[in-house]
Amino acid sequence: MMLSASRWGVLALLFVLLLWNLSGIGQPPPPPPSPAPVAPNASLVTANVVKYSIWNTQLLGFEQPTTLFSLVLEVLASEQISPQLLNLVREGDVIEAFSRESLDPELFGKKVMGTMRLVGDERGQRFWISGIEVLNPSEGGRLKGVKPISQEV
């Protein structure tokens, strides 16, 4: 049986494709692209504290065992801190924000103000909070005599 020229062309093309596919066997796949970090951001947030938690970092996937604190915040207002930093927090958001510094359990149920930053990359992100101050709900301002709780993010 004689094959026509067009059939020889199809067979040659299939042979080339087969060799091309086999050429990658046994080689490791190329490394994935580096994950993109979160854009620079910071927000001055006013919020109600609706939950207070203490965490063992190993439960959160951290390698070093330590303690983290978190607050679940119901955001009442959010302001951009600087034109160079995005404001990624919106009024009405409910966000869990973490701190490496000890947070007072008395913050639960209070109205607070603080600086929040979203840190991480495409694999995962966390909000971190610093500079927390308790606000006086009746006057809408800071409580007199209350020392701000300072944290580094």
Where exactly are the structural domains of the chain? 43-142
pLDDT value at position 93? 97
- DSSP tag of 106: G
pLDDT at 143: 45
| Nearest alpha-carbon partner for 91 in 55, 46, 30 | 46
pLDDT attached to residue 87: 97
Kindly state the tokens that stand for 149: 């709780």
Q: What is the pLDDT of residue 43?
A: 97
pLDDT at 34: 79
Closest to 128 measured CA to CA, from 95, 93, 87: 95
Contact 49, 71 (CB under 8 A): yes
Written out in words, the top-level CATH class of the domain with range 43-142 is mainly beta
pLDDT value at residue 33: 78
Tokens of 137: 């709900």
**Which residue stretches of the chain have pLDDT < 70?**
1-5, 16-27, 137-153
Span 74-111, pLDDT tens digits? 999 999 999 999 999 999 999 999 999 999 999 999 99
The pLDDT of residue 101 is: 92
Cβ-based neighbour number of residue 107 at 10 Å: 18
pLDDT score of 29? 74
Query: What CA–CA distance (Å, rounded) separates 52 from 96?
Result: 9
Name the residue with tokens 């965490």.
55
Is 112:46 a contact under the CB 8 Å cutoff? yes
Q: End-to-end distance of the chain based on CA atoms, in angstroms?
A: 77
Q: Which of 20, 134, 14, 11 is nearest to 71 (CA)?
A: 134
